[in-house]
Structure 1
């Protein structure tokens, strides 16, 4: 069975809703919070890498200040990754430190989602054909799938952050 091509906007929105659902699970004492954290980390890193490699370069012409918008989104993703790394390093799930770091992560991710949806995704809807959005969706999904194989482990997130922080 062949995969159904998907619009890049639909793929990114689905990732955003999944991230929000996983953040909700991480807040719930009835959920498997450590598993939700690892699932979130895996998705967040894969989504961010795929977005930075495929979507932002392609859609930079769709926003008012392209260089600033791309830098801003990349900086937001790095900020979220640093907070995610700190949350992954918390020893006790549900401790005051866990809750504090989770609150920071939730705020950072919410800001990023809002910015990305208002700039790049709206730009894609306004300026790209359905065919172009589907082709970009295939490229996004391919990069995202490659990064998913590294997993949302502490080492993978640490490597992602380390590779992006200037020496």
Structure 2
């Protein structure tokens, strides 16, 4: 199911700016998701699509390039991927709920907000700041184009569908990215 909410369709730009623009979109969508007077179903569909497209584009293009440029460590990239998986898992719980006017929905939104806010803050501090310092403008522009192209392609493919999010969460579980025993042990 595609969304009527504008998620932006950048074609190019500095990858850091593009990622930060998406981070601000996440924050805006979370505010709308908490607002009981909004079309919460449309918002959760849009948020799921943006979350999947953004995370997958980062993991495919941004994190590997930043590792090769020594802007981030292998651990930082892996930790970012683990946090994406946690966000997908929390997003799936929001998507699976039938109603959007229940305490269960509000609780699931709160869990999603916690996971998402933690990741945005940490990524901006430990990945984007070093990328600003360690990666030149030309590489950031090349990365921006690759990120935007992948992100838009995934949005066009309805990447935020509940079936796709379910598949992503299952794959993350199989890869050990959602190991419940390690929860909180990295902090």
TM-score by length of 2: 0.83
Matched residue, 1:62: 71
Distance in 1 of aligned mates of 2:39 and 2:119: 25
SS at match of 2:174: coil
Matched residue, 1:20: 27
User: Does the 8 Å contact 2:87/2:116 carry over to 1?
Assistant: yes
Give ranges in structure 1 of 5+ residues lacking alignment.
none
RMSD: 1.4
Matched, 1:164 2:172: yes
1:71 to 78, 91, 96: 78
* 1:78-104 CA distance string (max 9 Å, x none): 011011101101111021100001000
**Structure 1 residues 91, 5: CA separation in 2 closer, same or farther (over 3 Å shift)?**
closer
User: Does the 8 Å contact 2:96/2:162 carry over to 1?
Assistant: yes
User: Does the 8 Å contact 2:11/2:149 carry over to 1?
Assistant: no
- Poorly superposed stretches of 4+, deviation over 6 Å: none
**Structure 1 residues 5, 107: CA separation in 2 closer, same or farther (over 3 Å shift)?**
same
Give ranges in structure 2 of 5+ residues lacking alignment.
1-9, 176-187
User: Does the 8 Å contact 2:11/2:148 carry over to 1?
Assistant: no
User: Does the 8 Å contact 1:8/1:136 carry over to 2?
Assistant: yes
Matched, 1:7 2:14: yes
TM-score by length of 1: 0.93
SS at match of 2:109: helix
SS at match of 1:40: helix
User: Does the 8 Å contact 2:15/2:143 carry over to 1?
Assistant: yes
2:162 to 151, 154, 157: 154
Matched residue, 1:49: 56
Distance in 1 of aligned mates of 2:167 and 2:157: 10
SS at match of 1:94: coil
**Number of residue pairs matched?**
163
